[in-house]
Amino acid sequence: MNSPLDLNRVLQVLKDVLSNKGASGLHEPQFNGNEWEYVKECLDTGWVSSVGRFVELFEAKLEEYTGVKYAVATVNGTAALHICLKLAGVEPGDEVFVPALTFVATANAVTYCGAVPHFVDIDINTLGIDSHKLADYLKENARVGPQGCFNMITGRRIKAVIPMHTFGHPVDIDPLMEICEKFRLEMIEDAAEALGSLYKGRHAGNFGIASALSFNGNKIITTGGGGAILTNQKPLALLAKHLTTTAKKPHQWFFVHDMVGYNYRLPNINAALGCAQIEQLPDFLNTKRMLASKYLTSFKCVDGITVFEEPPYARSNYWLNTLILDEGHENQLDKLIEMSNEMGISTRPVWRLLSRLQMFSSCPRMNLVTAESLEGRIINLPSSATLGEGYEKT
């Protein structure tokens, strides 16, 4: 039995790291660039909706930064993920592998397609999908035939897998790609939290048939609300842009729509904000990695708790820094979060496992022992880029 965690010691280290740093919200936006200038241009010209120069400029900047050939800006990350699933051919009644430990939007997007989330366990070393456990699970429970991969228990087709780069840490992609090839699955990366993160030197979002980014107010760069679809396949990029623009065929005045589409394009005024933000992204990444390094160093002296560190194959954006309590300290998680927030330091637990939410309680799942253990042991720490200023680079 572990001795009780010294909560006062944990809080003191947290205070020391954040001392003289001003705001200690979980992840606050930073506007020190051309935001006012670009947004004012939208207001002055009247181009504030989904047409305007900043939309395409923002897409071009995303393509340049990530190395992905095509980016399509959307109103939010969930909309981007929904369209990614449509591009992958997910149909009503299909199953899609989703990590049990992820934000609810990952599973919600699956249900928008009429498909069924199938929850899989995570790897404690990556906080993403456990590829080895998934491979074993598929060997026992799936069959592959001319029509694809089928769940031998439910009889449904398993069409895709959505690896999510948790808190910005890239999941181990290579073994997942091998699984997808062997079992005829499409890979869709949920890279909502991973802008600026690299897997073996290549930017996250480059590996699946398509991927989704988010630019919510708490992300590493923000457009207020917003997201993007990334893909390296031109036909998919064209289809994505068509679907997100209500599937309207181009014409100067006629309104002709040739399929069911979605009003998912990012407004120009939001894209203007994004253009200013992405110009500052390298600086944001530097200061966030400084903060992560400070957390890692400072908490080494505290027993019973560990700061999660990027996997060895990756370079993470450290979107959210993460403390993991040792097994046996789960009963102190709520108290630690309560005490820190009372001090004005924003901390939060990880999301409730999707398999435990009422609307997903009947969905298929594998054994989720790792996710269930970590659910009660993860705490996210203040991670705004400004908090890393003045610390050493890594």
User: What is the pLDDT at residue 57?
Assistant: 98
Cβ atoms of 27 and 319 within 8 Å: the answer is yes
Question: How far is 255 from 62, CA to CA, in rounded Å?
Answer: 30
Residue 2 confidence (pLDDT): 63
What's phi and psi for 85, nearest 5 deg?
-65, -40
CA 249 to chain centre: 32
Within a domain: residue 353?
yes
* pLDDT tens digits for range 151-169: 999 999 999 999 999 999 9
**Residues 93-117 pLDDT 10s:** 999 999 999 999 999 999 999 999 9
Domain of 221: which CATH number?
A: 3.40.640.10
The pLDDT-based confidence of 122 (bands split at 50, 70, 90) is: very high
CATH number of the domain bearing residue 361: 3.90.1150.10
Length of the chain counted residue by residue: 394
Which pTM was predicted? 0.95
Flag whether 394 is in a domain.
Answer: no
182 catalytic per annotation: no
**Chain centroid to CA 193:** 3
194 shares a domain with 89? yes
Q: Are residues 224 and 363 in the same domain?
A: no
Q: Does 393 map to a domain? A: no
| Residue finishing a domain among 262, 279, 296 | 279
Specify which residues 321 forms β-bridges with: 381
At residue 1, does pLDDT exceed 70?
A: no
The per-residue pLDDT of the chain, averaged, comes to 95
The reply to whether 215 and 338 lie within a common domain is: no
Confidence class for position 322, pLDDT limits 50, 70, 90 = very high
Query: What is the percentage of the chain residues whose pLDDT exceeds 90?
Result: 91
The helix or strand, by DSSP H or E, that contains position 139, with its residue range, turns out to be helix 131-141
86, 133, 159, 219: which is the annotated catalytic residue? 219
Instruction: Name the pLDDT band for 324 (thresholds 50, 70, 90).
Output: very high
Classify each residue of 34-44 as buried b or exposed e, where b means 16 or more C-beta atoms within 10 Å of its C-beta: bbeebbebbee
Examine residue 235 and state whether it is found in any structural domain, yes or no: yes
Tens of pLDDT along 28-57? Answer: 999 999 999 999 999 999 999 888 899 999
CA separation for the pair 301, 217 (Å, rounded): 33
Query: How much is the pLDDT for 216?
Result: 96
317 and 271 both lie in a single domain: no
What pLDDT digit, counting tens, does each position of 215-260 carry?
Answer: 999 999 999 999 999 999 999 999 999 999 998 988 888 888 999 9
Tell me whether residue 122 is in a domain: yes
Q: Which of 228, 254, 279 is the last residue of a domain?
A: 279
Sole residue written with tokens 């200038």? 37
Measure CA 23 to chain center: 24
- Residue 50's pLDDT is 81
1 in a domain, yes or no?
Answer: no
Q: Which residues have a Cβ under 8 Å from the Cβ of 342 and sit 6 or more positions away?
A: none
Which of 218, 251, 279 delimits the end of a domain? 279
pLDDT computed for residue 250 by the predictor: 85
- 232, 369: one domain: no
Contact 226, 215 (CB under 8 A): yes
Do the domain assignments include residue 272? Answer: yes
* pLDDT tens-digit map of 190-207: 999 999 999 999 999 999
Which pLDDT value is given to residue 23? 53
Residue 54: which of 168, 342, 363, 44 has the closest Cα? 44
Is 267 part of any domain? Answer: yes
State whether 87 and 135 are in the same domain. Answer: yes
In a shared domain, residues 223 and 358: no
* Residue 187 structural domain: 35-279
What pLDDT score was predicted for residue 226?
Answer: 97
Residues 338 and 371 in one domain: yes
258: alpha, beta or left, given left = phi > 0 and alpha = psi -120 to 50? alpha
Angle, to 10 degrees, between the axis of helix 7-18 and the axis of helix 281-298?
150
Q: Are residues 207 and 222 in the same domain?
A: yes
Predicted pLDDT at 393: 61
What total number of domains does the chain contain? Answer: 2
DSSP 385: G
Q: Are residues 225 and 299 in the same domain?
A: no
User: What is the Cα–Cα distance from 205 to 191, expressed in whole angstroms?
Assistant: 6
156 and 59 housed in the same domain: yes
Residues 264 and 298 in one domain: no
Please say if the pLDDT value at position 313 is more than 90.
yes
